[in-house]
Structure 1
Amino acid sequence: MKRDREERDRLVRQGVLVSDSDPDLYRFSRDHVFGSSSVAGGIVKDGNCSGPQSWRKPGDGKTLREAKHG
């Protein structure tokens, strides 16, 4: 079960996520700040996600977890 489905549906209702030209995808219509990197990852991935292990810094490729711990 996708734990972030309710949040995704809320973002669609608010117009933050809108239909893309590909009917299977959504895109962000504007910037949105998430309270958790895992929720953000789950929305983008459309599935459960560990944000600290999944998001990477563009400069050095370190995950959020690696960046936090050294």
Structure 2
Amino acid sequence: MKRDREERDRLVRQGVLVPDTDPHLYRFSRDHLFGSSSIAGGIVKDGNCSGPQSWRRPSDGKSIKDVFG
């Protein structure tokens, strides 16, 4: 079960996520601040996600967990 499905559906209803040209994808219509890196990752990935392990800095590839551990 995808734990962030309700949040994703709410963002679609609010127009934060809108259909992309690919009918299987959504895109952000505007910036959105998430209260949790895991929820943000779950929405972007469309599946359960450990934000601290998944989000990485482009400059050096370190995860949030590595940086703030």
TM-score range, shorter chain: over 0.9
| Structure-1 separation of matches of 2:39 and 2:12 | 15
Percent identical among aligned pairs is: 80
Q: Which runs of 5+ in 1 are unaligned?
A: none
Q: How many residues align?
A: 69
**Which residue identity lines up with residue 18 of structure 1 in the other structure?**
V
> Where do 4+ consecutive residues of structure 1 move more than 2 Å?
none
User: TM-score if structure 2 supplies the norm length?
Assistant: 0.98
Root mean square deviation of aligned Cα: 0.5
Q: Which runs of 5+ in 2 are unaligned?
A: none
Question: 1:58 Cα shift?
Answer: 1.1
Aligned to 2:27, the other structure's residue is in SS state strand
| Structure-2 separation of matches of 1:19 and 1:6 | 17
Residue 52 of structure 1 is matched in structure 2 by: 52
| Structure-1 separation of matches of 2:26 and 2:53 | 23
Residue 7 of structure 1 is matched in structure 2 by: 7
**Which residue identity lines up with residue 54 of structure 2 in the other structure?**
S
Deviation track 1:16-42 (CA, whole Å, cap 9, x = no partner) reads 000000000000000000000000000
| Structure-2 separation of matches of 1:35 and 1:59 | 24
